[in-house]
Structure 1
Amino acid sequence: MPHDLDILALWQAGVDAVGGDVAVWRTICVGDVPTPDRIIAVGKAATAMAAAATRKWPDVPCLIVTKYHHAAGAPAHAHVIEAAHPVPDAASVKAGQALMDVVDGCQSSCHLLMLVSGGASSLAEVPAPGMSLDALKAETQALLASGAPIREMNTHRTTRSQIKGGKLLSWFKGARVTTLALSDVEGDNLGTIGSGVGNAPDDFTFSFDARIIASNAIARDAVAAASPVPVRTNSETLYADVAELAPQLGHMLRDAAPGLHIFGGEPVVHLPKNPGQGGRNMALGLALAREIAGTEGLRILVAGTDGTDGSTDAAGAIVDGRTWDKSGADALAHADSYPWLKDRGALVVTGPTGTNVMDLLIAHKS
């Protein structure tokens, strides 16, 4: 059994299987999606998703709303708005209003194609009446610091918004909406992805077709299929706090059978006041480094499939039994894992990936 297994290449195999371009192209070419009259793509993977749709329908007007520095490769004719994530900014409000304008402007015979991926909750917003952008930002920052699960956060966001939870499509007066979504939420619920920005309202009268076209399960299965060693674990269980997950996973992996262990999901982190640089994947990677310190023949990668972790340029980290030293405790306590891991060459830096189906943890035990 190889000791030098390239777990980053296995992670990339999982990411490639759920690429926004690949998933949309596969769906519109094999499925029965009719020609749209308008295309809206919103989320971290919006550019890749829109590229596939406009490759098939190059003359259809297209609006793309995505994260800053995620617009490379956008179709030349598309209107692109970049905004902030994970906390909305003024550009997010501009993007939200642009979404409303497109939807409200659709004629009675219109077929609207909605391409939705994670990140849309922050990237596009029209605050509810009486809700200022500053207040919205403060609430978002507090929720992020609290370690609240994404479902809870997105449920809260719908109460503060004029476009979330099906409200955007309440403005639609056309004939048909098709929503194709990449799932970044537990249970692959369209009402939670992007806080339901691509979901239909309760009282809709148009034809509505919604499909989840990529998910964490598809990515994990692709990792398993690419593995040259036996796959011992393949589960979507990364939903607890990092402080709880790390001891559980560390104990399990230290005693695990040789082979590959694959986990998916989206852990949470409770942030201290004035946190440093990092994200949930780097925090989990650093905490796992402490748990497996001194263990031979065990390497662990934990990284976001979207290529970003927190407000950094890294997706996550790769650690082994030699990564940890006692100075890591201070980095964990201050949520400052990024510089600590960077100093030790442990960061995973990939750039935007064109997808977003939560996180992958890949551990190789030799």
Structure 2
Amino acid sequence: MDRREQAIRIWQAGVDAVGGYTATSKVLSDVSEPDQILAVGKPAAAMARAALEHFGPRPTLVVTKDDHGRDLPDHVTVIEASHPVPDERSLLGGRALRETVEAMDSDSHLLLLVSGGASSLAEDLLPGKSLEDLERLNKKLLSEGLDITAMNAERRKLSRIKDGGLLSHFKGKKATVLAISDVPGDDLNVIGSGIGALPASVSFQAHTQIVASNAHAREAAVELARSEGLNVHTNEECLHDDFLNVAGTLGKRIRDMPSGVMVFGGEPTVVLPENPGRGGRNQALALALAQEISGCDGITIVVGGTDGTDGPTQAAGAVIDATTWGDGAESALQNADSGSYLERAGALLVTGPTGTNVMDLLVVIRS
């Protein structure tokens, strides 16, 4: 069996298990019929599609990333916006979410579907704050190597709809929040900077639930690996550090591992130079790991964002082995241009939008 194809298949099994459509569909039998559906985040369209197929047509607003609002009925209002740096459409989406919530009747039920990416995709700024302020903050946060919890804490300071702000405008009877987690600890106050979090004072019935997470993805990857007769040595969420530190720590473990599989999850960080090249955190980590395993035959690594994108690129990540590291790799790594190098090496992992977002997934196979 081709080791590269097997590694990708195990990675994909993890992603498929936490798909927005699949994860949302599983819990809808326990949700009463809503009057309004709001979905925000990268997997918003998939989550909304599941709800509409279960409950039938009803007013629905989806705010999602460019080219992610597909396969929805014509009656659905879709606003696509920029990620990871917000744009004018992000303000349009955030304002539309707030105004929709504000307009709901006193006896109404809101179904709010929340997922990662909402921090950038939907915003309604506090008075006195501008889009330029928001863009400047996001570019600064993305370049400094902060983890998602620290980044979202700063984003909330500019927002009327984050940190419980959106639901503070809800005067209806009941709100149900279903969330796909892209943050450590699966904290609803951090996912999308808290766009689905409950306000400090709640005057309505509220139910919140995490329907998919990185742990679910890793478990599904492990299950497939075992079903194919592979020994699974590790299943950990431990990628929460600078990508070079992660590569250094994992590199030794991978070089020393026996035949079998290791599965890791999390979200590494990257400190960008002033003029970065092309790539994202997964491509950077992949290239750093390629250096760690250079010349170690029998090892294949897949590392990718479960949403199918990695930074401002069309790749999810990369598939690397003992032969990936070569001439030009060191320069690419130093200049944050890992994507360009990995493309030349034929190592990019390109999946297109996956309909989910539960941080990153890394699969190692050793024969």
Report 1:303-342 matches (<5 A).
Answer: 303-342=304-343
The 2-side partners of 1:332 and 1:267 are apart by 15
Following TM superposition, the consecutive aligned residue runs of length 4 or more in structure 1 with deviations greater than 3 angstroms are 1-5
**Aligned-partner SS, 1:6:** helix
**Aligned-partner SS, 1:187:** helix
Structure 2 length as normaliser, TM-score?
A: 0.98
Structure 1 length as normaliser, TM-score?
A: 0.98
Report 1:148-227 matches (<5 A).
Answer: 148-227=146-225
State yes or no: 1:278 paired with 2:276: no
Instruction: Return closer, same or farther for 1:319/1:201 CA change in 2, 3 Å cut-off.
Output: same
Residues 52-76 of structure 1 show CA distances to partners (whole Å, capped at 9, x for unaligned) of 0000122210000000010111222
- Listed as ranges, the gaps of 5+ residues in structure 2 are none
Percent of aligned pairs with the same residue?
A: 51
| Residue of 66, 69, 93 corresponding to 2:67 | 69
State yes or no: 1:247 paired with 2:248: yes
> 2:202 is matched by which residue type in structure 1?
F
The 1-side partners of 2:297 and 2:20 are apart by 37
Instruction: Return closer, same or farther for 1:170/1:352 CA change in 2, 3 Å cut-off.
Output: same
State yes or no: 1:28 paired with 2:25: no
The 2-side partners of 1:127 and 1:274 are apart by 29
Instruction: Return closer, same or farther for 1:3/1:123 CA change in 2, 3 Å cut-off.
Output: closer
Contact kept, 8 Å, 1:278 with 1:310, in 2: the verdict is yes
State yes or no: 1:8 paired with 2:15: no
The 1-side partners of 2:3 and 2:11 are apart by 17
Instruction: Return closer, same or farther for 1:356/1:4 CA change in 2, 3 Å cut-off.
Output: closer
> 2:132 is matched by which residue type in structure 1?
D
Over aligned residue pairs, what C-alpha RMSD do you find? 1.1
The 1-side partners of 2:95 and 2:125 are apart by 10
Contact kept, 8 Å, 1:239 with 1:268, in 2: the verdict is yes
**Which residue in the other structure is 1:143 paired with?**
141
The 1-side partners of 2:279 and 2:126 are apart by 31
The 1-side partners of 2:109 and 2:186 are apart by 24
The 1-side partners of 2:3 and 2:284 are apart by 25
The 2-side partners of 1:3 and 1:79 are apart by 43
The 1-side partners of 2:5 and 2:176 are apart by 41
Deviation (angstroms), 1:3: 4.9
Contact kept, 8 Å, 2:332 with 2:338, in 1: the verdict is yes
Contact kept, 8 Å, 2:302 with 2:318, in 1: the verdict is yes
> 1:68 is matched by which residue type in structure 2?
D
State yes or no: 1:365 paired with 2:366: yes
The 1-side partners of 2:154 and 2:2 are apart by 47
Contact kept, 8 Å, 1:5 with 1:364, in 2: the verdict is no
The 2-side partners of 1:92 and 1:257 are apart by 48
- Listed as ranges, the gaps of 5+ residues in structure 1 are none
Contact kept, 8 Å, 2:4 with 2:300, in 1: the verdict is no
**Which residue in the other structure is 1:237 paired with?**
238
Contact kept, 8 Å, 2:303 with 2:317, in 1: the verdict is yes
Report 1:50-65 matches (<5 A).
Answer: 50-65=48-63
**Which residue in the other structure is 2:45 paired with?**
47
Deviation (angstroms), 1:191: 0.5
**Aligned-partner SS, 2:83:** coil
**Which residue in the other structure is 1:107 paired with?**
105
**Which residue in the other structure is 1:343 paired with?**
344
The 2-side partners of 1:4 and 1:155 are apart by 39
> 1:91 is matched by which residue type in structure 2?
R
Deviation (angstroms), 1:42: 0.2
**Which residue in the other structure is 1:259 paired with?**
260
Residues 272-324 of structure 1 show CA distances to partners (whole Å, capped at 9, x for unaligned) of 00111100000000000011111011111100000000111100001111110
The 2-side partners of 1:56 and 1:321 are apart by 47
Number of corresponding residues? 364
The 2-side partners of 1:146 and 1:188 are apart by 23
> 1:147 is matched by which residue type in structure 2?
G
The 2-side partners of 1:3 and 1:72 are apart by 33
Deviation (angstroms), 1:2: 7.6
The 2-side partners of 1:159 and 1:46 are apart by 24
**Which residue in the other structure is 2:77 paired with?**
79
